[in-house]
A and B are shown apart, each in its own frame.
Chain A
């Protein structure tokens, strides 16, 4: 056997291992981000879609809408648009995870001495960067159509934080579901997803919905984030006297925390079980 040219030693200490994990996570995140810069059409598409939705809902449907407590519909609408776009972001995670499994990329990672945490870390970092960009475009778009924040920059930032928290929690759902799906079925996931984002206080007040639907809409995690954002931005809300509507702010933290608590271990388990 000839001498092999390069063999960095495996990490021995916990600190070395952490350093490897962070370095690997960054490497994977960076290559994911490069994809964006190389694919302007996809970026434009991803950014244009929410703008079209704002115009569609803000002006086409919006002209027929009345906000329950009075106030401008587009002011009411925008926090819903933000949260919907964060929720639909789970599609990105799901498709990339499903494609990686189908194309053997996941297996190649698993055949290398890389901690799986690094792979997930890189994935979630890249997804969060994408989401921040998307949200920034949407916020700018909101400002153009007459939306604004009225309770100071601190509260507005807190609202942005809640939106990103929801997106972060959904990364784990995306990984868990994406590992079990083919790329084709992952791409079809918008079908069940879209109604879920609308069966909430995103576009209309749940008070206008039939009884059973109203309960679902009120307790939809999305509703909590949307209601909390309306409150923090100082936009008109629909009020609502249910417990869920009264405690939106806490639920906007509680729901994502619960989702993460459930789906993070589940997706870690599914990763480990790929060797079965």
Chain B
């Protein structure tokens, strides 16, 4: 048995004049939660559609669970589960009926499908709503039911395309917990997301995707430290204090802060989160610099892109402009 759940080499897919994928390479070790991180239009969904046999690549090859996606699509389909960007659950059926239907379509037989539906409802926290029609479910419940449907056969590789898009924080937490549980049960999970903090919470490894290819691949820890770790955001009461405060920040963080005069804001990456924050606040107080607001936050996707594409200028700035304005607050 190979130790890789997914191997993709040089995948290419064109739509008209645009390359959705342009030499996409990926290696996902078995038993991991793997995050594909990138802005809208980076090619994440196209990659997932090729890996789940829904699309045929123009070039390149991909092996999922040991089977070629082009020449052995049925074997791949047998080994995977897919939960797309929108839940495909049937609103008119109840949660239990949905899962029984998917169970029968997975050829469990009526009795086993019923039993499996019961187990999944229990495990995904839907037991109480089992008899209710899905149209009365909340967004989070639908997602969880959709995940359960993808999990009927405990797939070896589970593909989740933006599993939390459009969910409120509470529902998002529920889905995160569910995904963790699935990984603990032994599935490899490949998920796409636009949010660094989501990939950070869930994934063992992250591939950063931009313009149809993987531009960086590492653990969340190392990716974040490449950006300089977490950031301190500071808003001053008086713009006149900006220069002095910037000196304090530079001294405490060991990095040059970015200043914005109009909003009286200073931003600096910090490695020692609490230590640096405490030192900054103390020194500012000693110097009589008034602070209006302070936050300690994770780097945004924009900052990750800036740092990667900044170090690797051949990839241009497309990805950066594409992600600005996407509120990715942690």
Tell me the A residues contacting B by CB distance below 8 Å.
1-2, 4-8, 10, 20, 23-24, 27-28, 31, 34-35, 38-39, 103-105, 107-114, 274-276
Report 23 cross-chain contacts, Cβ distance below 8 Å, ordered by A residue: A5-B154, A8-B108, A10-B74, A23-B104, A27-B101, A27-B104, A27-B105, A31-B90, A34-B92, A38-B93, A104-B86, A104-B88, A107-B49, A107-B84, A108-B84, A108-B88, A108-B149, A110-B54, A111-B54, A112-B105, A113-B78, A275-B54, A275-B56
Q: Is B144 an interface residue (CB 8 A)?
A: no
B-side contacts of A31, CB under 8 Å: 90, 93, 97, 101
Most B CB contacts (10 A, CB to CB) among A6, A20, A107 go to A6
A-B contact count (CB 8 A): 88
Tell me the B residues contacting A by CB distance below 8 Å.
1, 30-31, 49, 52-56, 74-75, 77-78, 80, 82, 84-86, 88, 90, 92-93, 97, 101, 104-108, 112, 116, 133, 149, 152-154, 156, 185-186
B78–A10 touching, CB < 8 Å: yes
Cα-based distance from A35 to B52 in the complex (angstroms): 29
B90–A111 touching, CB < 8 Å: no
A103–B88 touching, CB < 8 Å: yes
Least CB separation from A109: chain B residue: B105
Most B CB contacts (10 A, CB to CB) among A24, A107, A109 go to A107
Least CB separation from B55: chain A residue: A275
A113–B88 touching, CB < 8 Å: no
Assuming A24-B105, A276-B56, is B93 touching A6 (CB within 8 A)? no
A-side contacts of B78, CB under 8 Å: 7, 10, 113
* Distance between B32 CB and nearest chain A CB, rounded to angstroms: 11
B-side contacts of A4, CB under 8 Å: 153-154, 156, 186
Assuming A2-B185, A31-B90, A103-B86, is B107 touching A111 (CB within 8 A)? no
Partner of A7, one of B55, B93, B153: B153
Cα-based distance from A107 to B80 in the complex (angstroms): 13
Q: Which 5 pairs from chain A and chain B are nearest by CB?
A: A2-B186, A111-B82, A113-B77, A104-B88, A8-B107
